[in-house]
Amino acid sequence: MHNRLWIAGILAASPILALSPAAFPASNEAGCVRTTAGARHNQRLFTSLMRRKDAEAEHTLSVYQVERVKARDIKPVTNPVVCERAALAYGRAVRQHDPSRRVHIVRVGDRYIVVDPAFIPDDYHRAVTFDSTFVRPLAVVAE
């Protein structure tokens, strides 16, 4: 009986252990964070802005330096190469070099909105807009 409980406990804990940080240790390389609620929030925000036609939506799009695109052209980015380039470019843009920075990225048309989910001073949100070269920031937004 005791052995059956022990085996049942191991089987019950396997999914938890498989998805834990022990199975996926944190990397010391720049890149993307796993999908988070913040990334989905930003994707929904830009999708909403594309549907709205009011002055506030126009102003927000101009601040982020993005053009109006179709909703299907707004996607989260998970490509490791793009994530690493974006994370390093984000660090250069905000003058905080961190070789292990993790960001989340939303592609809006041909622009990339890069956000560091760890940056939360006084409940502000900071995002940097880049084109596909990630050489210079097109917009740095703190709101």
From first to last of its 143 residues, the chain has per-residue pLDDT tens of: 556 655 665 656 555 544 444 444 445 566 676 665 556 788 888 999 999 989 999 999 999 999 999 989 999 988 999 999 999 999 999 888 888 888 889 999 999 999 888 776 555 668 899 999 999 999 998 87
Residue 6 lies in a domain: no
SS3 category, 71: helix
Q: Tell me how long the chain is.
A: 143
**Helix runs in 29-140, H state only:** 37-51, 55-64, 80-93
The residues, ordered by sequence, that sit 6+ positions from 20 with a Cβ below 8 Å of its Cβ are: none
Cβ contact 111:121 at 8 Å: no
Tell me the residue range of the domain where 82 lies. 28-142
Instruction: Flag whether the pTM goes above 0.85.
Output: no
Question: Kindly report the CA angle at 29 between 24 and 31, in degrees rounded to 5?
Answer: 85
What's the number of domains the chain is made of? 1
Residue 84 lies in a domain: yes
